[in-house]
Amino acid sequence: MSLTERAEHTFGGGWTEIKLNAVSDYLNFYTRALQARPSPANPFETWYIDAFAGTGDRTVERHAGSLFTPGPGVMERVRLEGSARRAIAIDPPFRHLAFIEKDPNRFAALESLKTEFPNRDIHCVQGDANDELRNIFTSGPWVQSGRSGLQRAVVFLDPYGMSVRWDTLRQLANTQRADVWYLFPLHAALRQLSHNHTALDAGKRGALNEVFGTADWEEHFYNFNVPQTNLFDFTAAATPARSADPDKVERFAAGRLKTIFKFVSEPIPILTRHKLRQFSLFLLSGNPQPKAISLITKGVTAQIKKYGRQSLPLHRVR
């Protein structure tokens, strides 16, 4: 079995393309916008950092339906470009690319991109995204004097679930030099907010504290003023009722992100085939410069218009 066969990465659906298209469109805008800034002679040093990078590819199964293959019912496996390969293809190119991946087989596939693209400055790091982002932004050109003021990054946080720690987001905001695409795990967070308040165990509480960076979610999503149902038993405590729905969780998440980032975009809803709102894709930046914010706003507005709210059905996820 070849290296790439072993590391074949099957994930997502049509909605994955929307996510990747939105990010790639922005990357194209970004390198073009920064190529002659702050000055043509001494431009920004651009980085693309993919913290949950996968293999570089993604394999999808789809119905085969060409002239030469039998009709419906026959499935074929197709290899499409994942986020890492898409970032390599951006033109004008990013000066540096860093790919972080925890899984050893997927990491090995990423490493092979260095051989495939020998002229590109590609760094592959095996490890946990949170730890490795911390290492990147607290070392090398990000802390050295001299050209360090010219480092600029787009960071892509594309986890399967609730893996991004609040501290990581805070650190990215504090760099003031990173635009962060964050795939907020809306459905996963909603699932942790159990309907039955007594089912909220330490594991769920810990995961929700980490994803929201606060414990305040509990009073926000549960009503503790539920009237007592048993008039004669004063010892029976009423169970707090859950009031969470996708809109409310998304608004709460956006509000929390605004406490640490200067810029928080309107979220792009990422829906599954069954119209379930799985993720909310945000663009975030801690850059305080009005010029930078107006550039980011310009860059993301096109994506919001193309992939944003209008694609959202009235359907609610419980």
Position closest to ligand SAM via CB: 82
Those residues with Cβ within 8 angstroms of residue 73's Cβ, 6 or more apart along the chain or in another chain: 63
45 scored as a contact of ligand SAM (CB under 6 A): no
Q: Is 160 in the site for ligand SAM (CB under 6 A)?
A: yes
For ligand SAM, what does the binding mask look like between residues 12 and 41, x meaning CB under 6 A? Answer: --------x---------------------
Look at residues 88, 140, 84, 77 and name the one whose alpha carbon lies nearest to residue 109. Answer: 84
Q: Does 103 bind ligand SAM (CB under 6 A)?
A: yes
Q: Is 123 in the site for ligand SAM (CB under 6 A)?
A: no
Per DSSP, the chain holds a count of helices (H) and strands (E) of: 11, 12
Could you give the 3-state DSSP secondary structure of residue 168? helix
Q: Is 82 in the site for ligand SAM (CB under 6 A)?
A: yes
Nearer to ligand SAM, 103 or 218 (CB): 103
Q: Which residue has the tokens 């907020």?
A: 184
Q: Which of 125, 152, 158, 277 binds ligand SAM (CB under 6 A)?
A: 158
What is the closest distance, in whole angstroms, from the C-beta atom of residue 50 to ligand SAM in the complex? 6
**Which residue's CB is nearer to ligand SAM, number 60 or number 254?**
60
Cβ proximity to ligand SAM, 101 vs 295, nearer residue:
101
- How far CA 293 is from CA of 46, 117, 177, 179, 181, in Å, comes to 17, 33, 11, 10, 15
Which of 95, 102, 114, 275 is the binder for ligand SAM (CB under 6 A)? 102
Binding of residue 224 to ligand SAM (CB under 6 A): no
Q: Binding ligand SAM by CB under 6 A: which of 15, 29, 52, 184?
A: 52
Instruction: Tell me the window of 112-120, 135-143, 152-160, 229-237 that interacts with ligand SAM (CB under 6 A).
Output: 152-160
The maximal CA–CA distance of the chain, rounded, in angstroms, is 81
| Between 129 and 208, CB nearer to ligand SAM | 129
In the list 26, 34, 94, 106, the residue contacting ligand SAM (rule: CB under 6 A) is 106
Nearest-approach distance from CB 185 to ligand SAM, in angstroms:
11
Chain centre to alpha carbon of residue 171: 15
The rounded distance, in Å, linking the Cα atoms of 237 and 226 is: 9
Measured CA distances, 70 to 62, 66, 77 (Å): 13, 8, 15
Q: How many other β-carbons are positioned within 10 Å of the β-carbon of residue 228?
A: 11
Least distance to ligand SAM, CB of residue 93, Å: 18
The residues, any chain, with a CB within 8 Å of residue 166's CB and separated by 6 or more, are 210, 211, 212, 213
Cis before 267? omega within 30:
no
User: How close are the terminal C-alpha atoms of the chain, in Å?
Assistant: 43
Q: In this chain, which of 46, 47, 54, 256 binds ligand SAM, going by CB under 6 A?
A: 54
Beta-carbon neighbour count of residue 167 at 10 Å? 13
Write the single-letter amino acid at 184.
F
With contacts defined by CB under 6 A, name the span among 153-161, 229-237, 249-257, 292-300 that binds ligand SAM. Answer: 153-161
Among 3, 6, 11, 237, binds ligand SAM (CB under 6 A): 11
**Is 83 a binder of ligand SAM (CB under 6 A)?**
yes
CA distance 16 to 58: 10
Cβ(116)–Cβ(68) below 8 Å: no
Tell me which residues touch ligand SAM (CB under 6 A): 11, 20, 52-54, 58, 82-83, 100-103, 106, 128-129, 158-160, 163
